[in-house]
Chain A
Amino acid sequence: MSHDHHHDHGDHAHGHRHPNQPDHDDALTYYRKLEMAVRELLIEKNIISADEVRKVVEDIESRSPEGGARVVARAWSDPQFRQALLEDATAACTSMGFEMALYDVKLTVVENTPDVHNMVVCTLCSCYPRMLLGLPPAWYKSRAYRSRAVREPRAVLREFGLELGDDVSVRVHDSTADLRYLVLPMRPEGTERMTEAELIAIVNRDSMIGTAIVSPPIE
């Protein structure tokens, strides 16, 4: 986009230079250099194209937890969709219009019930249902969460503000392979008359990772 920049703010004459804003570039770390070098080599060797890289980056950056919230709200509102979602989440989300083809993994939705609370982690790296939630939060990728979520999930949940009784089983999912997990949280009481659009607004990201629940809306 061309940007005609006529500097003429009222009577403010421009005989001087604006001080430059400091650059906000991230540090050029070892791994960033490594990524750039490998990417440029792969492009040079025609294994991938710059356009493919751009397409994937743009796609990931276009996703956000609102996508997952739409899926959850639909499942709460439509029992048939809920059933389809639990059986084949990739197909069910495709039917809602989500583009899933870029993600060569099997999306799997696990449902919270009064007896079972599900919680997702990837101990090996940071596998995450990006197609529905976008990029994972920093804590999800941290060593502390990845190691503690499997070993002491209840202590981790407590730190997130969620205290579960012993009558609820905590079911941790370590996404180590080709599955990506999304938690279907329980629909809170008092939301029976809410529309699907209203429900979307109350579904928080962490409830779909399993480190939170969905609270009833505050009147």
Chain B
Amino acid sequence: MSAAAAIATHAFQPGQTVHVRKVDSLGHIRTPHYIRGSTGVIERFVGFFKNPEELAYGRSGEPRCALYRVRFVQSQVWPDYSGAAGDTIDIDIYEHWLQPVNPS
């Protein structure tokens, strides 16, 4: 029951601005290096999934992690981006890699 309660909530809502933690972490990490330190917007909350950083070592992956699709503006990700201003990249990121950004 406690496990069920633990997965019942997720922190971010669509439209919310988030910052990807910029840490060099060892192990099986699904957050690509190129996006760490970037700021994006939650496109959708996807669901709760077993933590791949734990699964990779034969552990249970529980408690499950909230997963989001986060949208980034390409010209902010790559300073020399040559495409159109509207070009974006969506990346699937687990909640513990995201921090809230307060609108200034």
Which A positions have Cβ atoms within 8 angstroms of B? 106, 123-124, 150-155, 166-179
Q: How many residues of B contact A (CB 8 A)?
A: 26
Query: Of B2-10, B11-19, B46-54, which binds chain A?
Result: B46-54
Identify the interface centre among B74, B82, B88, B89: most chain A CB within 10 Å of its CB: B89
A179 near B89 (CB under 8 angstroms)?
A: no
A176 near B87 (CB under 8 angstroms)?
A: no
Which of A152, A153, A169, A176 sits near B91, CB closer than 8 Å?
A176
For residue B87, which residue of chain A has the nearest CB?
Answer: A170
For residue A147, which residue of chain B has the nearest CB?
Answer: B34
A154 near B82 (CB under 8 angstroms)?
A: yes
Residues of A within 8 A of B88 (CB): 169-172
Which B positions have Cβ atoms within 8 angstroms of A? 30-32, 34, 46-47, 49, 52, 67, 69, 74, 78, 81-94
Selected A-B contacts with CB under 8 Å, 27 pairs: A106-B47, A150-B89, A151-B78, A151-B81, A152-B82, A154-B83, A154-B87, A167-B84, A170-B74, A172-B74, A172-B88, A172-B89, A172-B90, A173-B89, A174-B91, A175-B92, A176-B31, A176-B32, A176-B92, A177-B30, A177-B49, A177-B92, A177-B93, A177-B94, A178-B46, A179-B46, A179-B92
